[in-house]
Chain A
């Protein structure tokens, strides 16, 4: 039995300790945002955040994750109340087939938690491990920039914070 903290909730999972996190998310917990793309850590469709770092959930055995904080797209917001990254991806219409987008949004979230206003070059470098076959890269880049602005806007300024 392995206990996982997913999006702030504790889940007990009865599975082989080598089971990749991706399978636990999709098969055991029915959290279907993270996708199976290649199963080899080559495409990024399965990207989730572990302690603020984007990782490939297809290559991460669940037994290594006790005591760590896992986040998936389900933790960023909902269809009714999308989070800033999700909202930006919707507004830029960044998804075409959409298969890579959950992974893209998680990596974008990871980037913006480390670097609130990344340059174009920094966005390209950070997002490079995630592949998109439709070719919506330019929209994805715009969406990341839009999300950065939106997230900056909700941060209170010093004078607001002191009020």
Chain B
């Protein structure tokens, strides 16, 4: 009897395994050489816009190397994966991929030969794109300059590197098919939802992930992590003191700066740079969608919150010009026991206030009042510390303001003192608990990069 039960369990397991293997096996799509001249110019143009919304170039371009030729390191909790060459080079790129092969990759996460692609390539979002849009992106990519540049193999330890795990991941987490439009919302909102959930894959960074690296669906846009930065929540959990409006999100995505929130920095600066190719109407549609998610309630509620934030900000502007004693222990800003308690105020007055004080003369830059800053109000000090250390440096092709980094000027202890002071002075949120550890972690990270 026991052997019979055992035997049937084995049969069921083997059957399930067989079914999974059969399901996960995909055939090669025959190589095909497309000629760049065979593509419709309008489709190429549309594809350029969609590729910029999809921010393809960031992960598929190595620093200072040819665009779309791959090599960018994407750090995941499972290891580092390098963006692949998606130029139409026949040997190292996707030059032999037919349109069907490209669409299968975008929707099912398979390469031309039928291998499962790791989900660092966000096909869980691209799968929602329409046929027409994928054709346009294909037309755009196949008309780029072919670049012969070999792909770098992923650095994922065995056995996680086995492609069968990517297949299992898809079985659990990939939900193919179009985005359902919401008839109760405007056309603009639906366009924004389609772009944001699909090609723009905003949730890839702004949604927390589970232990298997998949987005937690029940915590959509609840805030995530990327490249050592925190991607803030885009829902009602957003740390922004003034609820985001369509106009503010639009300004942020278009210019990299929203006067009630701050400047795009870190990985978001590349997103804004890439979005420069997108049309105003598409950027506005995305803004419309996220404004509705940010949950500021009705207009009256938003305005009340904005007013409250304004008056708090005004009440907390420090006086940075009153004289300070030049002798004694207070001269160095240290309390008698050596703790850097008062130090933060002095650092702010000397290093930050000339731009960030409300009374500052700012002929060439538009820094945000710190009481409005998302970084200052976030639950975690990571972004504040990164911006303080690294500054904000738009690259030659990016728009936006310049803020100097203070990594060489301030010691770890001084950064900690400054962060504690700024948080206490400009935010109503509770004090940050983990500032010192965060500072040393980021310093270590930066030293390793050197």
Set A2, A59, A128: member contacting B409, Cβ < 8 A: A59
Q: Say whether A153 faces chain B, with CB atoms less than 8 Å apart.
A: no
Q: Is B364 an interface residue (CB 8 A)?
A: yes
Q: Is B410 an interface residue (CB 8 A)?
A: yes
How distant is the Cα of A21 from the Cα of B344 in the complex, in angstroms?
Answer: 17
Which one of B324, B404, B409 lies within 8 Å of A18 (CB-CB)?
B324
Contact: A17 with B333, CB < 8 Å? yes
A13 → B minimal CB distance (Å): 9
Contact with A54, one of B323, B332, B408 (Cβ below 8 angstroms): B408
Please determine whether A17 and B365 come into contact, CB atoms closer than 8 angstroms.
no
Q: Which residues of A contact B (CB under 8 A)?
A: 1-2, 14-20, 38-42, 50-51, 53-56, 58-64, 66, 121, 128-129
Q: Is the interface of B mostly helix, strand, loop or mixed?
A: loop
B327 contact set on A, CB distance < 8 A: 1, 14
Task: Please determine whether A1 and B331 come into contact, CB atoms closer than 8 angstroms.
Answer: yes
Instruction: State whether A50 touches B332 (Cβ < 8 A).
Output: no
Chain A neighbourhood of B409, CB < 8 A: 50, 53, 55-56, 59-60, 64
Tell me the residues in window 359-406 of chain B with beta carbons closer than 8 Å to chain A beta carbons. Answer: 362, 364-365, 393, 402-404, 406
Counting CB contacts under 8 A, is B320 at the interface?
Answer: yes
User: Does B442 count as interface, using CB distance less than 8 angstroms?
Assistant: no
Tell whether, in the assembled complex, residue A60 and residue B350 are in contact, meaning their CB atoms are under 8 Å apart: yes
Which of B323, B331, B414 contacts A64, CB < 8 Å? B414
Q: Is the CB of B332 within 8 A of A66?
A: yes
Within 8 Å CB of A51, what residues of B? 408
- A51, B347: Cα distance in complex, Å: 18
* Complex alpha-carbon distance, A20 and B346, angstroms: 11
Q: Check B246 for interface membership: any CB of A closer than 8 A.
A: no
Q: Which residue of A lies closest to B352 (CB)?
A: A59
User: CB-nearest residue of chain A relative to B410?
Assistant: A64
Docked Cα-Cα span, A99 to B146, in Å, equals 45
**Whole-angstrom distance from the CB of A113 to the nearest CB of chain B?**
12
A1-B327, A56-B404, A129-B404 given; A17·B355 CB < 8 A: no
The interface centre, meaning the residue of B64, B323, B404 with most chain A CB atoms within 10 A of its CB, is B404
Residue B326 is within 8 A (CB to CB) of chain A in the complex: yes
**In the complex, what residues of B have CB within 8 A of residue A56's CB?**
404, 409
Give the CA-CA distance A78 to B402 in the complex, in Å: 33
Contacts A16-B326, A60-B350 known; A128 to B393 CB distance under 8 Å? yes
Q: Are B408 and A59 in contact (CB under 8 A)?
A: no
**B350 contact set on A, CB distance < 8 A:** 17-20, 59-64
Which residues of B316-351 are within 8 A (CB) of A? 320, 323-324, 326-327, 330-333, 343, 346-347, 349-351
Question: Chain B residue with minimal CB distance to A19?
Answer: B350
Hey, which chain B residues are within 8 Å of A61, CB to CB? 346-347, 349-351
State which of A15, A41, A53, A66 has its C-beta within 8 Å of the C-beta of B326: A15
CB distance from B351 to the nearest CB of A (A): 5
In this assembly, does B407 line the interface, its C-beta being within 8 Å of a C-beta of chain A?
A: yes
Asked if B281 lies at the interface with its beta carbon under 8 angstroms from chain A, I say no
Contact yes or no, A18 B346, CB < 8 A? yes
User: Once bound together, how far apart are the Cα atoms of A2 and B327, in whole Å?
Assistant: 8
Chain A residues with CB under 8 Å of B32's CB are none
Cβ–Cβ < 8 Å partners of A121 in chain B? 64
For B354, the chain A residues whose CB sits under 8 A away are: 39-41, 58-59
For B170-195 the 0/1 string (1 means CB < 8 A from A) is 00000000000000000000000000
Task: Quote the shortest CB–CB distance from B175 to chain A (angstroms).
Answer: 42
B365 proximity list for chain A (CB < 8 A):
40, 42
